[in-house]
């Protein structure tokens, strides 16, 4: 065990999103003196909970994966001593397409009900649907074993890794396949393909470049019906999905408690304008206003280009690393409308989270968004009722509603500032196809455009979920060419999502601790 007097490297963390909070918590717990700078007026980043007039809405995450006690996110909460401070509510999502909908049945129909429903909808492809689900089950065994390997200790870890290797060999032949190739291999009907690739719109990812092996992982059956058991094979428990009770801000609050318990100095409204480098080593940071904070270790979260090309400078990067930053494919942004209403929307949507798609052509829709062509809600939108699972997020007998859809950072026609209310109104009008007369019941409203998100995140290009997973494309690793400078968050190796960024931050903290006396 490392003695405390061996841990005296001063750490500065830039950004108080989940990744920055997690890294700071792990290092402070290990004895490192940590200072955290956040440019906004509160910690949490896009995981904050917004509040107005008695209503509350999540700014970012919805149905969250991996926070159960046996999962990686749950283990992190336990490691940091805050698991009992984060309430979880099991949840489901439903899909509505132009020709049919897929909501969990009122009475439980077993773990294979969606497969059987699809076979009824597409009888000509019954055999193909069965074949896909054989592949799905193999891939979910890999996922379950991967989580077990991550959280196990030796000698159990080595045994589970051997099982993982054998399971992965059963799907390895498709590791170079795109999502589109995977769908074309199994299915003919474009509607059936869209059922499994429509979620890629959330990533603003084209099926033709998205990794095919990830498709089953994004379509875990118990995310559509919480009653489906997580353990369906000897491989172990499959991922679980929950809403964070009373908003994701409660997760941020718990992490803040862990930081303060371990002496982390937290400064909000503090913008880092430069990461100081001398030779090949980081020396600290310079804040707006000129204050210099010297440090042995700097951990940056947030935008890759903003971090490395603005705060650091290209001259300190290797050619290979600069190429990764330049070529990193980022997601686009969202238009998000938060409403507080004096009505009950539950008769119109059976579960808190519903995806409404207006097209089956995910490839064309995503490509248009990436060109700046905004569909105004016609191609699809999400309806989320946080007060359905957490009544405290709205006044008594009232509800909070979030409507959002993917949107380009820059519009091909006009600006977000000039068209903010017009485009928000159109999105609400689409929601009224689900909830009649919705606008007559609005008592509070907050509109967030891509321009607003860019301001909140200090990013020139706001990427709502971080980087796009693209076949053959690497991302910047946690350790950078500048000694003592580390990079975490949704645009790093970890990718986006609450569990992913927390695991990435934990892993980066472990790597930092593994370097003796900070000599990198």
How many degrees, rounded to 5, is the angle at CA 77 between CA 302 and CA 515? 60
Q: At what angle do helices 72-79 and 498-514 cross, to 10 degrees?
A: 60
| End-to-end Cα separation, the chain, in angstroms | 20
Every domain of the chain and the residues it spans? 4-50+248-329+466-518, 108-244, 333-457
DSSP helix, strand, coil percent of the chain (3-state; round to 5) = 40, 20, 40
Q: How far apart are CA 453 and CA 408, in angstroms?
A: 12
Strand-pair partners of 274: 286
Q: How far apart are CA 237 and CA 220, in angstroms?
A: 12
* Distant-in-sequence contacts of 101-104, Cβ < 8 A, 24+ apart: 102/195, 102/224, 103/350, 103/351, 103/354, 104/224, 104/225, 104/227, 104/350, 104/351
Query: What pLDDT, on the 0 to 100 scale, is given for residue 355?
Result: 98
3-state secondary structure of 444: strand
Q: At what angle do helices 72-79 and 126-151 cross, to 10 degrees?
A: 20
Strand-pair partners of 483: 281
Q: How far apart are CA 273 and CA 328, in angstroms?
A: 22
Among residues 450, 458, 442, 401, which one has the least CA distance to residue 423?
450
Token code pair at residue 118: 């699809």
Token code pair at residue 196: 């499994």
Q: How far apart are CA 318 and CA 474, in angstroms?
A: 15
DSSP for 101-151 reads EE---SS---TTHHHHHHHHH-GGGHHHHHHHHHHHHHHHHHHHHHHHHHH
Q: How far apart are CA 390 and CA 243, in angstroms?
A: 9
3-state secondary structure of 501: helix
**Beta strand residue intervals within 308-454, DSSP E:** 333-341, 353-357, 380-384, 399-407, 442-448
For residues 242 and 249, is the Cβ–Cβ distance under 8 A?
A: no
SS3 letters across 212-258: CCHHHHHCCHHHCCCCCCCECCCCCECCCEEEECCCCHHHHHHHHHH
Among residues 196, 228, 222, 118, which one has the least CA distance to residue 355?
196
Query: What pLDDT, on the 0 to 100 scale, is given for residue 59?
Result: 87
Domain 4-50+248-329+466-518 indexed as CATH 3.50.50.60: yes
Per-residue pLDDT tens digits of the chain, which is 520 residues long: 333 444 458 999 999 999 999 999 999 999 999 999 999 999 998 898 999 999 999 987 789 999 999 999 999 999 999 999 999 998 899 999 999 999 999 999 999 999 999 999 999 999 999 999 999 999 999 999 999 999 999 999 999 999 999 999 999 999 999 999 999 999 999 999 999 999 999 999 999 999 999 999 999 999 999 999 999 999 999 999 999 999 999 999 999 999 999 999 999 999 999 999 999 999 999 999 999 999 999 999 989 999 999 999 999 999 999 999 999 999 999 999 999 999 999 999 999 999 999 999 999 999 999 999 999 999 999 999 999 999 999 999 999 999 999 999 999 999 999 999 999 999 999 999 999 999 999 999 999 999 999 998 889 999 999 999 999 989 999 999 999 999 999 999 999 999 999 999 999 999 999 985 544 4
Q: How far apart are CA 229 and CA 222, in angstroms?
A: 7
pTM above the 0.85 mark? yes
Kind of pairing between the strands at 88-90 and 241-244: antiparallel
């Amino acid at each position: 065990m490392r003695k405390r007097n061996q841990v005296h490297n001063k750490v500065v963390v830039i950004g108080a999103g989940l990744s920055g909070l997690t890294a700071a918590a792990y290092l402070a717990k290990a004895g490192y003196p940590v200072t955290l700078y956040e440019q906004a007026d509160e910690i949490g980043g896009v995981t904050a909970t917004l509040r107005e007039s008695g209503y509350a809405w999540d700014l970012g995450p919805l149905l969250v994966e991996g926070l159960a006690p046996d999962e990686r996110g749950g283990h992190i909460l336990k490691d940091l001593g805050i698991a009992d401070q984060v309430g979880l509510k099991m949840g489901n999502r439903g899909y509505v397409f132009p020709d049919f909908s897929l909501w969990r049945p009122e009475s439980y129909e077993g773990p294979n009900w969606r497969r059987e429903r699809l076979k009824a909808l597409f009888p000509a492809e019954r055999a193909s649907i069965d074949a896909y689900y054989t592949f799905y089950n193999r891939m979910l065994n890999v996922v379950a074993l991967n989580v077990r390997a991550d959280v196990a200790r030796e000698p159990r870890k080595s045994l589970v890794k051997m099982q993982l290797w054998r399971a992965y060999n059963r799907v390895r032949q498709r590791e170079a396949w795109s999502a589109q190739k995977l769908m074309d291999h199994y299915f003919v009907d474009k509607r059936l393909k869209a059922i499994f690739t429509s979620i890629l719109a959330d990533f603003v990812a084209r099926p033709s470049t998205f990794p095919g092996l990830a498709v089953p992982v994004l379509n875990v059956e118990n995310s559509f019906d919480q009653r489906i058991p997580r353990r369906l094979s000897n491989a172990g428990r499959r991922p679980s999905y929950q809403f964070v009770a009373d908003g994701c801000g409660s997760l941020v609050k718990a992490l803040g408690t862990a930081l303060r318990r371990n002496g982390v100095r937290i400064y909000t409204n503090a913008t880092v304008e430069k990461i100081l480098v001398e030779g090949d080593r980081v020396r600290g940071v310079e804040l707006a206003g000129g204050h210099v904070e010297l440090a042995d270790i700097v951990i940056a979260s947030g935008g890759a280009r903003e971090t490395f090309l603005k705060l650091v400078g290209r001259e300190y990067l290797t050619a290979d690393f600069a190429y990764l930053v330049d070529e990193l494919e980022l997601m686009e942004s969202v238009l998000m409308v938060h409403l507080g209403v004096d009505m009950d929307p539950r008769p119109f949507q059976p579960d808190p989270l519903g995806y409404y798609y207006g097209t089956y052509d995910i490839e064309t829709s995503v490509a248009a968004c990436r060109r700046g062509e905004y569909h105004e809600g016609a191609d699809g939108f999400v309806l989320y009722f946080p007060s359905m699972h957490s009544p405290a997020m709205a006044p008594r007998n009232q509800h909070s509603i979030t409507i959002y859809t993917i949107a380009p950072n820059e519009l091909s026609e006009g600006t977000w500032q000039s068209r903010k209310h017009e485009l928000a109104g159109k999105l609400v009008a689409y929601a009224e196809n689900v909830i009649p007369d919705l606008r007559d019941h609005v008592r509070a409203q907050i509109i967030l455009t891509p321009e607003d998100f860019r301001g909140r995140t200090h990013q020139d290009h706001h990427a709502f979920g971080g980087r796009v997973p693209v076949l053959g494309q690497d991302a910047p690793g946690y350790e950078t060419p500048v000694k003592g400078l580390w990079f975490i968050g949704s645009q790093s190796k970890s990718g986006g999502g609450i569990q992913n960024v927390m695991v990435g931050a934990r892993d980066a903290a472990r790597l930092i601790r593994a370097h003796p006396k900070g000599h990198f």
